[in-house]
Amino acid sequence: MGHQGHAAHHAKVKVDHHAKLAEAMKQRLKVEELEENIDELEDVVEDVFPILMFTVIISTLILIVFLIRMYIKYSVNNPSKNKIDGKTVLITGGTSGLGKATALELAKRNARVLITGREKVIVEAVARNIRKKTGNQHVNALHLDLGNLRNIREFAEDFNRNEKSLHVLINNAAYMGPKSATDDGLERAFAVNYLGHFYLTHLLTEKMKKNAPSRIINVVSDAYVKGNLDFDDLALNKGYDVFGAYARSKYAQMIFNLECHRRLFAHCVWSFAVHPGACNTELLRNYPGLMGNVLRVFSRVMFKPPEDGCQTIVYCAVADKLRDASGKIFANCKVIKTNDRVKDRNVGIQLWSTSAQLCGFECDVPCEDEEVAVNKTEEATTEDKKEQ
């Protein structure tokens, strides 16, 4: 190769080298562009990701709440469409929540409905409203404070004097809140939820026997399984917590329900306990502190409306063929298992006599031997058939 050949070769190599360099530059620019794009994309993802996650979490929560509400709402299916024309029903605590919803439903089923409340004006307004809504003119308001034993006695005297009949007694009113004492100096949850109803039932028993077959419905709560009864500390001086006091009162009501069955079944007065389930009512209005606020918001969003919650109470008031379920507890219109602690007869007798003492009367309702009660029931069966 001559001098010229070398020069040409050298020039070609240089051109190739420049071309490669240009190509490499191009590639590098592309990579840089790509990297920039990726950076931009990362920025966008960084900005959008929390919003995306937030949306997904909120949507999932809404879906869960919706499904739970659907489940709770439709879990109560009242199979009885019975109307109870001419039957008299007395409901304690009829001014709000489940008592009010039960009164409305029973008024629609043609019952004669008597509701009680502590504030005359409020309970009368509720009764008027139910009369207007249902067209049933036999809905009336009565004044009753279950935290006052004298008031209960006077109420029952008036009732027995003025009312011809009583077919269904619904012990529904309740208190849940900070520690406080009633006019009689008793712990409020125990006094209102249990003892007041014990005394009222005792004073109305003769009327219910005369109207047999009749029914006592004790509105309890599954919280009863957490309740403890220390007869040496009924005032809860050893320690008080809102839920514990409420659970104890419901436990006492459950024992009372079974004791009523043992003592009154033979007279064709049947006793049913009802757990209505978690309902959006005013029950938590006195629950103190932050916990109270959280529970109230939670109950507004998650719990079933009282119109659903009252269905099992209504079922026990109107359904046929419930005689054999006397003494038992219902939820969602079906019998559920009773906790064994409720069944101890000695505790039942002790609670009954302690309660009678607190109310100031002799334990005059006989503690009937169960066998005798069962035999008497055979005689009573004909009576029952009238209703079934």
Ligand X SMILES: NC(=O)c1ccc[n+]([C@@H]2O[C@H](COP(=O)([O-])OP(=O)(O)OC[C@H]3O[C@@H](n4cnc5c(N)ncnc54)[C@H](OP(=O)(O)O)[C@@H]3O)[C@@H](O)[C@H]2O)c1
Q: Which two tokens stand for residue 101?
A: 């919803």
Q: Is residue 105 a contact point for ligand X (CB under 6 A)? A: no
Sign of the Cα pseudo-torsion (285, 133, 114, 213, in order): negative
Q: Is residue 97 a contact point for ligand X (CB under 6 A)? A: yes
Type of residue found at 340: D
Q: Which two tokens stand for residue 102?
A: 């039960």
Q: Which two tokens stand for residue 33?
A: 């562009």
**Only segment of 26-34, 51-59, 82-90, 111-119 that touches ligand X (CB under 6 A):** 111-119
What is the distance of C-alpha 365 from the center of its chain?
31
Minimum distance, C-beta of residue 219 to ligand X, in the bound complex (Å): 4
Q: Which two tokens stand for residue 105?
A: 């439903």
Q: Is 115 helix (H, G, I), strand (E, B) or coil?
A: strand
Is-contact 155 182, C-beta < 8 A?
A: no
Q: Which of residues 91, 104, 139, 192 is near ligand X by CB under 6 A?
A: 192
Minimum distance, C-beta of residue 345 to ligand X, in the bound complex (Å): 25
Nearer to ligand X, 144 or 260 (CB): 144
Q: Is 239 helix (H, G, I), strand (E, B) or coil?
A: coil
Q: Which two tokens stand for residue 343?
A: 């069944």
Residue 202's nearest CA partner among 90, 380, 364, 373 is: 364
State yes or no: is 246 an active-site residue: yes
Q: Is residue 213 a contact point for ligand X (CB under 6 A)? A: no
Place of tokens 């505790």: 347
Is-contact 92 173, C-beta < 8 A?
A: yes
Element (H, E) at 117: strand 112-117
Nearer to ligand X, 144 or 329 (CB): 144
Q: Is residue 348 a contact point for ligand X (CB under 6 A)? A: no
Q: Which of residues 72, 84, 93, 109 is near ligand X by CB under 6 A?
A: 93
**Only segment of 92-100, 260-268, 350-358, 375-383 that touches ligand X (CB under 6 A):** 92-100
Minimum distance, C-beta of residue 350 to ligand X, in the bound complex (Å): 23
Q: Which of residues 78, 95, 257, 326 is near ligand X by CB under 6 A?
A: 95
Minimum distance, C-beta of residue 254 to ligand X, in the bound complex (Å): 12
Q: Is residue 172 a contact point for ligand X (CB under 6 A)? A: yes
Nearer to ligand X, 159 or 175 (CB): 175
Q: Is residue 338 a contact point for ligand X (CB under 6 A)? A: no
Q: Which of residues 108, 118, 179, 226 is near ligand X by CB under 6 A?
A: 118
Sign of the Cα pseudo-torsion (222, 228, 231, 237, in order): negative
Alpha-carbon gap, residue 134 to 139, rounded angstroms: 10
Q: Is residue 264 a contact point for ligand X (CB under 6 A)? A: no
Cα pseudo-dihedral 164, 362, 366, 187, rounded to 10: 80
**Only segment of 7-15, 274-282, 288-296, 374-382 that touches ligand X (CB under 6 A):** 274-282
Give the residue at shortest CB distance from ligand X: 97
**Residues annotated catalytic, as ranges:** 246
Q: Which residues of this protein are in contact with ligand X, per CB under 6 A?
A: 92-93, 95-99, 117-119, 122, 144-147, 172-175, 192, 219, 221, 276, 278-279, 281-283, 303
